[in-house]
Amino acid sequence: MDERRFLLLATFVPVAGFFAVVWLAPILYALGMSLFDNPTGAASFVGVANYADILTSVGFPKYLWNSVVYAVSSTVLSLLVGLGLALVVNQQVRGGNALRTLMIFPYLLPTLVVIFMWKFILDPNLGVLNQYLVQWGVLESPIAFFSTLQWAMPAVVVASVWKFGSFAFFILLARLQAIDPNLYERARVEGASTWQSFRDITLPHLRGAILIILLVRGIWMFNKFDIIFLSTRGGPLEATTTLPIRVYQLAFSEVNFGGATALAGIMFFLLALVAVVYFRAFEPEKEVAN
Amino acid sequence: MFEFGEGAAGSYVSQATQQRVKRTAVVLTALLVAVFVTIPVYVMIAIAVQSPSSAFAGGSVQLFVDSLSFENFRVLLTETSTPRYFFNSIVVTASSTFLSTVIAVAAGYGLTRFDFTGKTLMARAVLFAYMFSPIVLAIPLYVIFYTLGLLNSYFALTLALTAISAPFTIWLMWQYFQTVPIALEESAWVRGASRTRTIWDVVLPVARPGYISAAIFSFAVSWNDFTMARVVMSQDEMYTITVGASLFLDRVSIGWGETMAASLLIAIPPFCIALFLQNYLLQGFNVGGLE
Amino acid sequence: MASPIRLDSIRKEYSAAGNTHVAVDDLTLEIPAGSFTTIVGPSGCGKTTTLRMIAGLETPTAGTIHFGDRDVTDAPPQDRNAAMVFQSIALYPHMSVRENIGYGLKVQGVDEAERDRRIEEAAETLQITAQLDKMPSELSGGQQQRVALGSAFVQDPDVLLLDEPMSDLDAKLKAELRVEVQRLHKELDATVVYVTHDQTEAMTMSDHVLLLEEGELAQFAPPGDLFDHPVSEYVARFIGTPSTNMLPATVEATGDGYVLTDGQFSVPVPGDLFADRVGDDVTLGVRPQYLDRGGGSHGVRVRVDVVEQLGTEYVVHGETTDGSKIDVVVADDAGLATGEDFDAYFEPDDLFVFDDGGDTICHGDALSQSQPA
Amino acid sequence: MASPIRLDSIRKEYSAAGNTHVAVDDLTLEIPAGSFTTIVGPSGCGKTTTLRMIAGLETPTAGTIHFGDRDVTDAPPQDRNAAMVFQSIALYPHMSVRENIGYGLKVQGVDEAERDRRIEEAAETLQITAQLDKMPSELSGGQQQRVALGSAFVQDPDVLLLDEPMSDLDAKLKAELRVEVQRLHKELDATVVYVTHDQTEAMTMSDHVLLLEEGELAQFAPPGDLFDHPVSEYVARFIGTPSTNMLPATVEATGDGYVLTDGQFSVPVPGDLFADRVGDDVTLGVRPQYLDRGGGSHGVRVRVDVVEQLGTEYVVHGETTDGSKIDVVVADDAGLATGEDFDAYFEPDDLFVFDDGGDTICHGDALSQSQPA
Amino acid sequence: LGLGGGGGGDSTIQYLSDRGDSKDVIDDIISEFEDESDYEVEVTYTSKGTSTDAQLQKMKAAGNPPDVVFDTSADAYRYQRDGDAAPVNDTIEGSGLPDPVNVDGDSYFVPTMVEPLMGWYRNDLYDENPTTWETWQSEAQRISENEGLEGYVVQSGQTNNADTSMTQYLWQNDVNIYAGPSDDIEVTIDQGDNEQRAIETYQWVDQMSEYAPNGSGWEWGDAIGALQQENAAAIMSVGGLPVLTIQEARPDLVENLSPTAFPLPDGRSQDKWWAYMEGHVVWDGGDSTDGAKEFVKFFSESERFMDFVLSAPLFQFPPTEEGLNSDAVKDNEVIQQHQDAMDLVRDNWDAFTTVLATGDDGAPNIVAADAYGQQVFGQSTDQMVVGDLSPEETVSWVADELRALQE
Ligand SMILES: Nc1ncnc2c1ncn2[C@@H]1O[C@H](COP(=O)(O)OP(=O)(O)OP(=O)(O)O)[C@@H](O)[C@H]1O
Ligand SMILES: Nc1ncnc2c1ncn2[C@@H]1O[C@H](COP(=O)(O)OP(=O)(O)OP(=O)(O)O)[C@@H](O)[C@H]1O
Ligand SMILES: [Mg+2]
Ligand SMILES: [Mg+2]
């Protein structure tokens, strides 16, 4: 066997095997379970009944809506924060390095710790934010951010943006630094204002990165479980019950594993649909595969 | 803290006002974000290093530390298995980081250097691998690991963690290898170096920023993980720090002080990485910047 | 030991997105052992591709490659004892200059003392001794280029392949290095194949020049031959600056014999070559250097467009009466202003005659016998 | 309206890592309105920096820049009505060729119909009409270069700045574009400043040449002057290929007057220039083209090293008896083999004389009167 | 779909527990047990609350169920219903332990501790212990308006804290949520007099929420935080949990806290007082079932048993009155400091009721167990306080939810 072939096998066989064991097998197993009633007990085959039940259940539209709101708002905000900051750091600001260090830190922190921090800050009783807002007279009494209907989702989103803003930041910063500075200079010589250069040069260059961030981060946030579970458990009054939270509830508190896996299958289908439309419309994998 | 570097290449001609407005806006944004990022961290530290009775004295939270106390850390280290949990975390994080990086390097190299049918399919498969909600994988994975007799092993947790991080690290290395000129390898081949040797002598050293940032990502995933550790590890002495902490933190005897102290300990490795490896990280992100 | 290189009906296709692109087509030639061969041609004509096939970095779609008697068509690059300087320089960014130059030797298992000896020798020749312990990123473009050359030369290869090794240098440095490369070639026992798009390099450095036209061989000959005896209009146009002037003419039979004429001039030509071409359109090629204001046997009227001083000479860009562009090199520009007319004379000796399809019918030496004494 | 450009004591420092590097130093010159000025000099001499200060992309550390009467030293680039072609081409990769060319007009608020008209006009001149709707990545290097030129020309600027706009092109394309650029300059009402490291371009295209030496002005003059009347050894060496030969000599007083001699030759020189230099070492500069094998008033013995064919001519690289390198351009190489000796003659007319410090003492015309009739 | 195979050997007992607090004692008991028998015990700790369920589901799914689970009596009954629990008659018979999960004469649960609900109020703000609905309301109002903090905490949301509180409020007003024997539980909360009483109860809770911090979904710790940070003057919690927690951060505050029973409407008496009963369930059909039974018996009879219970004194109490009066309890330092709380427990011992024992005559009630598992009552408070349902609507919402559980 020649060396080329050997390396080809050496690079792909382990990877393919690995994916087969830790991704494909569990996913197929889970999809299989979604066709059974009580799959972990006295399993009986029910076909797509679990799917039908989930899709027609009262809560489904609401959970879907929550998921979309959460995924979209946290992704878009992360993007905006990351973009703003990347533009700032790209301006050769002194202290930019410190800022970069600062930004990467939240990303590396475990969600558990992030939630501890934010719960502590936003807590109505121990929370520093409430303490100061009340002290300064902004609020009359503390707000329980994680447990009031209108604040719970924003609070979860803020914590998510805090943790994940740097993902967009780093990717965008790298792209910004890859733009040929002569393009800006040419634009200035041609008479373009700062805003025009941003619109006509910066944004088009960031397009690919922005699309990838929206897709990848969006999918991750849609599937995000721990940040919500650890902070609100989906409450209050299901205000933050997203589909993954619902999957957990179905699986572990309602012991409806067929339903849980069916819902996961539906989520997968939805994301795949979004992804396919996305692939068609923007061809972001050209970024990957070019 | 934030000032413009004067006279840098391509810096503006003094267009006084416009310049000043822009500068102010930039510095303000930077400050705002810095504050937004720093405050939670500061609060964590402030609570961690005060004894609970001084942190909460008088019914309000003391953010200005006037007396340092390591009481919280003492409780953690003597009354809980924190050291053991840390050890476990370090073991699985290190091995998963290593495995994920190796897989990413192998796959990334293969994908950029070999042409074969189904490459695009593979590109999409990697992206699609993100799309299945990880929480439902808990039960199937548990079943698989149980069947294989791998529960409560570092090995199984390493695999599971790698499963989460690998799609992204592969994508990253794939991108990165595209920026490593193939001419470097060809020049080594022409000089008589075998492909394998070329990988050691040329490809890996040149790709270092790439795989360091891939490593940092897998570190983040592993160190952050809660779900997979919960799936694989069921014995107390095998818990990772996140699982362990989540358990002892709901004890009656443990309060916010210890919680923040534990958080602070957990935050130390990420902090070191952010401090010392950020340049590599940025370079790693800079895929596409060199093409 | 320098090997001769033989290419037999080499063809290389690339398929991208379903389309097949033929980069090199039916190339057959033999490069003598120890010679210095230059491949030239416009961008995209297949120079690099040819070189890469010789190096073993690409496998030909069809045809065979021999080094001496050995068929290396399918041999991997590692087995060819070749050295190559890449168009992109391709220094290892993580190795010092010394390590870069010595890497090939290290791979071959040459011990360190010997390695250092050879590295230092090469560095001295290339005047980069002071840079030996720097990293590539600390070098200027010209120094990097020399490091790349050094690491190829140091290996004592049988075949030395150089892909535009001077494209990044300014004219002065280029001129200096040109001499160094030729000197090194003399010292080494290697067959050198040198790719360039700069035809001055090709003409001054090599024993043979291979000119490619869209992947096909246009001419393979010593540089003087290419200059003096181009086999086609394409070759005549590509080789030489300013480019060879092309004057349209027709073959006419006169009482005396045959002439090429455009109305102004009328150049007698031998019947054996032109008898059966009467009435055909042909093109006369004449180099700007061979046009003379002073006088000569045949002339064309030129209207001056722009005059450029080119060192000690001047290039007059102008138009003939029928509007084709024409360049004339003159020693001094006395009295030539834009819009002015003058006559440029040429000798049949210096002409090339091309047929409709651009192939050479004959060179000036074939015409000189037909001239009225 | 083309503006004259006046630079007064311009200085530009860069500080990097604590070190201050002076890129341009005390540069004073006036570029006439509507003229074509070329900046030349070796890599790193400050050409781009000077151009960028004129464009407004860098602010001088000291000194002032005027466009006509207007002080633009601190004006932003947007306010200068200049256009610039960058060394790196700098096409917007996400815009089509049409959008690239038209971007400056769009920013200036020119309406679409008018924009399209001007774009198409420029495209026609530059022969890229067929490429208008392609993306820059689909173009060859030469086409990209033409797009960059197009977008500068289309803006009808007062000042047109071109930074090595042809560095990426092969010799043939370069020659073609050179003519086009000159033609466009004639059509436009703009002051053109053109940076290049290729002195052939500088010599052929411009009204004035600015030669820089490590940031300082070496000479600013019409190209012919630079060639014929260099103000220093540096200028004489830099301008002209092959480079001017430098022959060491000493000033001696003889009974008749004064001579410059190295033992082989002895060139009489006027007393007014050399009387107080007796005993000094001087350098004689003589261009390779002015050395003649045939004969002349003074000669040096040359040992042949290498002979290069350069188009219709040959360059003989050799050494004089005292070991200094010497190049001779000859029309044919008949019988010149390596190691052979011959005599190369020159006329005092063609000499430059430089003092110890490299400054010009006089040119050949000053010597010719002293010659024995 | 269950896959067989793998996992712990025949002589390993897998023990699932959420008592991380008592880890040291448990480890001691296990090593004593291991010295005496051929079995090894492998403990999996989970955090309190729902994660035991998650772990159990995974283990069940893999065909690798635990052999012993530490859980509430309500959960034990659910396991029994699903056919997963093994009888532990040996341990119960003659031990004097309560036998809350007795089905057809077989015992399926070995209680180890009791955890009663209990309230704590600020004795420096409340003039006296306000025992009735009316006084609670007026006092809470006074404090909210005058003292700069809220008078009371109303819990709502999908938490155990909220669920137990709401259930207890209903009990205080004699609402019979369910009726019938174990095999025929009927939801009666919206029937007959119950409906009116339930509505009254929700009305009272709604009014009290005016004097409570806003928010829902609070766990036990959140309410305690409100007390600790002086955002509220009284909370309903479980046992001495609040003082144990507050002791650490605000030692100065502890002496201002006094225990109290849940508020009673005028004319009602304290006859049902929510108490968790937690203990061991042995899983049926595993390889180590016999060993598990042995272990459970050993555990209950261990000399360290009292240490286990008292590892969180005042929060956990022994499962028998005899244990309650034992020297170990009397000598416990923490308990001695809070005699008033201890008195409350002693005086109301007979009223302690698990949510499971809410069928006729205290028969096991599977619907109540399931409702607790999904925190239906906690959610009902949310529906009213956060979701703006009227008390009437809330009652019918709860009734619907409960009936849905029966399907
Ligand atoms: N890997 C490839 N895939 C597809 N087409 C290729 C590939 N490599 C080269 N080609 C095409 O083959 C033709 C010849 O390319 P080659 O690189 O040999 O040109 P070249 O003569 O070296 O040009 P240059 O002077 O620009 O370096 C070009 O049209 C090029 O686009
Ligand atoms: N932004 C900068 N920071 C520091 N030094 C610089 C900067 N730009 C240019 N220089 C230095 O200033 C000197 C002049 O540079 P400049 O770019 O003007 O050279 P150039 O004549 O255009 O050379 P080339 O022919 O290589 O383009 C060089 O030594 C260069 O290293
Ligand atoms: Mg090439
Ligand atoms: Mg430059």
Burial (CB count within 10 angstroms: exposed 0-12, middle 13-18, buried 19+), residue D176: middle
Beta-carbon separation of D170 and C198 below 8 A: yes
- Per the confidence metrics, is the pTM higher than 0.80? no
- Domain range for D190 is 5-237
D149 lies within 8 A of chain A by CB: no
Which residue's CA is the nearest one to ligand 1's atom 31? C44
Q: What are the residue ranges spanned by the domains of chain B?
A: 15-59, 80-290
Beta-carbon separation of E21 and B138 below 8 A: no
Q: How confident is the model at residue B258, as a pLDDT?
A: 84
Q: Which of E118, E116, E82, E85 is nearest to E102 (CA)?
A: E85
Are residue C208 and residue C271 in the same domain, yes or no? no
pLDDT in tens, D249-269: 999 988 878 899 988 888 888
Integer Cα distance of A75 and A80 in angstroms: 9
Size (chain D), residues = 373
> 3-state SS string over chain D?
CCCCEEEEEEEEEEEECCEEEEEEEEEEEEECCCCEEEEECCCCCCHHHHHHHHHCCCCCCEEEEEECCEECCCCCHHHCCEEEECCCCCCCCCCCHHHHHHHHHHHCCCCHHHHHHHHHHHHHHHCCHHHCCCCHHHCCHHHHHHHHHHHHHCCCCCEEEEECCCCCCCHHHHHHHHHHHHHHHHHCCCEEEEECCCHHHHHHHCCEEEEEECCEEEEEECHHHHHHCCCEHHHHHHCCCCCCEEEEEEEEECCCCEEEECCCCEEEECHHHHHHHCCCEEEEEECHHHCECCCCCEEEEEEEEEEEEECCEEEEEEEECCCCEEEEEECCCCCCCCCCEEEEEECHHHCEEECCCCEEEEEHHHHHCCCCC
Tokens matching residue D230: 């260099």
Are residue C31 and residue C100 in the same domain, yes or no? yes
C92 close to ligand 1 (CB < 6 Angstrom)? no
pLDDT in tens, E57-106: 888 877 888 899 998 888 888 888 888 889 888 888 888 888 888 888 88
* C15, C72, C78, C84, best to mutate vs chain B, most B CBs in 10 Å: C78
Q: How confident is the model at residue E3, as a pLDDT?
A: 38
Q: With contact defined as beta carbons under 8 Å apart, do B56 and E229 qualify?
A: yes
Residues of D in contact with B10 (CB under 8 A): 57
Count how many Cα atoms sit within 13 Å of the Cα of residue E405 in the half-sphere of its side chain: 25
Query: Mean of the per-residue pLDDT values for chain E?
Result: 87
Q: What is the CATH classification number for the domain harbouring C197?
A: 3.40.50.300
Give the residue ranges of chain C where pLDDT is below 50.
none
Are residue C275 and residue C138 in the same domain, yes or no? no
Which residue's CA is the nearest one to ligand 1's atom 24? C43
Name all chains with 3 or more CB-CB pairs below 8 Å to chain E: A, B
Instruction: Give the distance from residue B120's alpha carbon to the nearest chain A alpha carbon, in angstroms.
Output: 7
In chain C, % helix, strand, coil (3-state, to 5) comes to 30, 35, 35
Task: Reply yes or no on whether the pLDDT at B279 is more than 50.
Answer: yes
D14 lies within 8 A of chain B by CB: yes
Q: With contact defined as beta carbons under 8 Å apart, do A240 and A232 qualify?
A: yes
pLDDT (mean) for E210-217: 81
Residues 6+ positions from E355 with CB-CB distance below 8 Å: E74, E164, E167, E274, E365, E368, E369, E372
Task: Reply yes or no on whether the pLDDT at D12 is more than 50.
Answer: yes
Of D203, D241, D311, the CB nearest to C309: D203
Give the CATH architecture of domain B80-290.
Answer: Orthogonal Bundle (1.10)
Helices (H) and strands (E) in chain E, counts: 19, 13
Integer Cα distance of E67 and E85 in angstroms: 9
**D70-109 as b/e: b if 16+ CB within 10 A:** eebbebbbbebbbbbbbbbbbbbebbbbbbbbbbbbbbee
Q: With contact defined as beta carbons under 8 Å apart, do D370 and D270 qualify?
A: yes
Tokens matching residue D28: 């004073």
Q: How confident is the model at residue B99, as a pLDDT?
A: 93
Residue A256: closest C-alpha in chain E: E57
Residues of A in contact with E1 (CB under 8 A): 32-33, 36, 39-40, 43
Are residue C91 and residue C208 in the same domain, yes or no? yes
pLDDT (mean) for E283-288: 81
Choose the weakest-confidence range: A168-172, C226-230, D171-175.
D171-175
Q: How confident is the model at residue A287, as a pLDDT?
A: 43
Q: Quickly state the pLDDT bin for D193 (edges 50, 70, 90).
A: very high
Phi-psi region of C63 (alpha: psi -120 to 50; beta: other; left: phi over 0): left
Ligand 3 centroid – CA C83 distance (Å): 17
Integer Cα distance of C84 and C52 in angstroms: 9
Q: Quickly state the pLDDT bin for E170 (edges 50, 70, 90).
A: very high
Q: Quickly state the pLDDT bin for B284 (edges 50, 70, 90).
A: low
pLDDT in tens, E318-344: 988 888 888 888 888 888 888 888 898
Beta-carbon separation of D77 and B13 below 8 A: yes
Measured CA angle at D228 (ends D226, D232), to 5 deg: 60
Are residue C151 and residue C27 in the same domain, yes or no? yes
Task: Reply yes or no on whether the pLDDT at B33 is more than 90.
Answer: no
Q: Bridge partners of C360?
A: C354
In which residue are the tokens 């280290």 written? B77
Domain boundary, last residue among D204, D237, D270: D237
Integer Cα distance of D248 and D265 in angstroms: 11
Are residue D247 and residue D229 in the same domain, yes or no? no
Are residue C191 and residue C324 in the same domain, yes or no? no
Q: With contact defined as beta carbons under 8 Å apart, do D159 and D32 qualify?
A: no
Q: How confident is the model at residue D251, as a pLDDT?
A: 92
Of C171, C306, C311, the CB nearest to D289: C311
CATH number for the domain formed by residue range(s) A54-289: 1.10.3720.10
Are residue D142 and residue D270 in the same domain, yes or no? no
Q: How confident is the model at residue C87, as a pLDDT?
A: 73
Strand order in the sheet with C62-67: C19-31, C5-16, C62-67, C70-71
Of D14, D15, D76, the CB nearest to B15: D76
Integer Cα distance of E95 and E105 in angstroms: 16
Tokens matching residue C159: 């075949």
Distances (CA, A) of B278 to A85, A97, B30, B285, C336: 16, 9, 18, 10, 67
Are residue D226 and residue D342 in the same domain, yes or no? no
Q: Which of C12, C15, C83 is nearest to C47 (CA)?
A: C12
Distances (CA, A) of B56 to A128, B53, C130, D16, E138: 11, 6, 67, 51, 30
C162 close to ligand 1 (CB < 6 Angstrom)? no
Q: With contact defined as beta carbons under 8 Å apart, do B269 and B223 qualify?
A: yes
DSSP secondary structure letter of residue E264 = B
pLDDT in tens, A192-248: 888 888 888 888 888 877 887 888 888 889 988 888 988 888 877 788 899 999 988
The ligand 2 atom nearest the CA atom of B8: 1
Task: Reply yes or no on whether the pLDDT at E206 is more than 70.
Answer: yes
Are residue C323 and residue C340 in the same domain, yes or no? yes
Q: Give the residue, out of C11, C19, C21, with the most ligand 1 atoms within 8 A of its beta carbon, to mutate for a pocket test.
A: C21
pLDDT in tens, B54-75: 887 777 777 888 888 888 888 8
Query: Mean of the per-residue pLDDT values for chain D?
Result: 86
DSSP calls for A90-108: TTTEETHHHHHHHHHHHHH
Q: With contact defined as beta carbons under 8 Å apart, do D279 and D251 qualify?
A: yes
Ligand 4 centroid – CA D200 distance (Å): 17
Look at chain C and report how many structural domains it folds into. 2
Residue D14: closest C-alpha in chain B: B7
Q: Do chains E and D touch (3 or more CB pairs under 8 A)?
A: no
Q: How confident is the model at residue E7, as a pLDDT?
A: 41
Domain boundary, last residue among C215, C237, C259: C237
pLDDT (mean) for B97-117: 87
Long-range CB contacts (within 8 A, 24+) of D353-356:
D353/D260, D353/D269, D353/D282, D353/D283, D353/D284, D353/D285, D354/D232, D354/D233, D354/D236, D354/D246, D354/D282, D354/D283, D354/D284, D354/D285, D355/D277, D355/D280, D355/D282, D355/D283, D356/D280, D356/D281, D356/D282
Q: What is the CATH classification number for the domain harbouring C258?
A: 2.40.50.140
Integer Cα distance of C75 and C322 in angstroms: 56
Choose the weakest-confidence range: A2-11, E322-331, E380-389.
A2-11
Integer Cα distance of D106 and D109 in angstroms: 5
Domain boundary, last residue among C237, C262, C294: C237
Q: With contact defined as beta carbons under 8 Å apart, do C162 and C193 qualify?
A: yes
Q: How confident is the model at residue B287, as a pLDDT?
A: 46
Beta-carbon separation of B15 and D15 below 8 A: no
Q: Do chains E and B touch (3 or more CB pairs under 8 A)?
A: yes
Distances (CA, A) of C4 to B187, B202, C75, D144: 22, 31, 16, 40
Are residue C162 and residue C308 in the same domain, yes or no? no
D198 close to ligand 2 (CB < 6 Angstrom)? no
Are residue D37 and residue D147 in the same domain, yes or no? yes
Residue D60: closest C-alpha in chain B: B13
Assembly ipTM:
0.75
Beta-carbon separation of E229 and A235 below 8 A: no
Q: What are the residue ranges spanned by the domains of chain A?
A: 54-289
